[in-house]
Amino acid sequence: MNDFPGALPSSERSSKVALYAILIYKHDASKPVFLSSAVDLSSFPFFHRSSLKEHIYFHSRLVCSRTPKGNREVIELESGIGHLHVYTNKDTNVSVLVLSTKTYPLRIAFGLIDATQRLFHQKCRNKYEHVTQDLMEGALFSTDLQELLKKYQNPSEADKLSRVQKDLDEVKDVMLKNIDDLLQRGEKLDDLMKKSQDLSNSSYQFYRCVPSGVAAGAEADAAMSSEQAKKNNQCCKLY
């Protein structure tokens, strides 16, 4: 995937700091169960948001299933959106994932994961343990998660919040991987996408023909009219 038309210059692109999503799953190595999410894609072109959201869910479930409990890992997504941070609590079996740009501070991202784990355990104990199928969006912990997403949009302010709760040291023992590192021998990401219930056919086609560097062109593309967007992305058939 290459950059969208009108992408931001590389110097501006590399300095962009943004937080896009927090997702919570009940961990399962075969198929994690979706519990809750908060997603902010307002900086992306309107007609791309639905497909991007589906890809976030697909990648989050895949990363969750392939990351051992107790490991703190950062996965660089091939779609150019950014970094997906993940941690699963061994005691509660709850996985929290945070999607941000690459420049979002690592310590703050995992501070957000820790804060989410604590608050979710406090407010949702005995509400998710026996859940075996994906919950509907907004069914559990939605308001609290939206508030956390909003609070942590500004890393400097979020850092103050984190330090009030706990004197956090620099995060250590974090593994940085790309999505291919999670694939088993002989597996192809394309095949997993075809089988995934998280992706509609239009979102799968979006992945195949929309250029990479999605986040890079987000703000510039947002200014495009829908007609221009249609013209520039005809192959994706999203309109």
Q: Can you read off the two tokens belonging to residue 92?
A: 């509660």
Average pLDDT over residues 47-70: 92
The pLDDT of residue 98 is above 80: yes
Q: How many helices (H) and strands (E) does the chain have?
A: 9, 6
Which has the closest alpha carbon to 44: 215, 207, 173, 232? Answer: 215
Helices (H), the chain: 10-15, 46-66, 106-124, 142-151, 155-165, 189-195, 201-209, 218-222, 226-232
- pLDDT tens-digit series, residues 7-30: 333 444 456 889 999 999 999 999
Residues 114, 22 contacting (CB under 8 angstroms): no
> Is residue 141 helix, strand or coil?
coil
Partners of residue 76 on adjacent β-strands: 83, 178
When pLDDT is cut at 50, 70 and 90, the band that residue 235 belongs to is very low
Q: What pLDDT is recorded for position 79?
A: 59
Query: Rounded to an integer, what distance in angstroms lies between the CA atom of residue 233 and that of residue 239?
Result: 9
Q: What pLDDT is recorded for position 7?
A: 31
Q: What pLDDT is recorded for position 93?
A: 97
What value does the mean pLDDT of the chain take? 77
Domains of the chain, start order: 10-236 (3.30.450.50)
pTM of the model: 0.74
Share of the chain above pLDDT 90, in %: 48
Helices (H), 72-217: 106-124, 142-151, 155-165, 189-195, 201-209
- pLDDT tens-digit series, residues 59-79: 999 999 999 999 999 999 875
Of 221 and 33, which is predicted with more confidence?
33
- pLDDT tens-digit series, residues 167-216: 445 566 777 777 777 776 777 777 677 677 767 676 666 665 554 444 44
Of 79 and 99, which is predicted with more confidence?
99
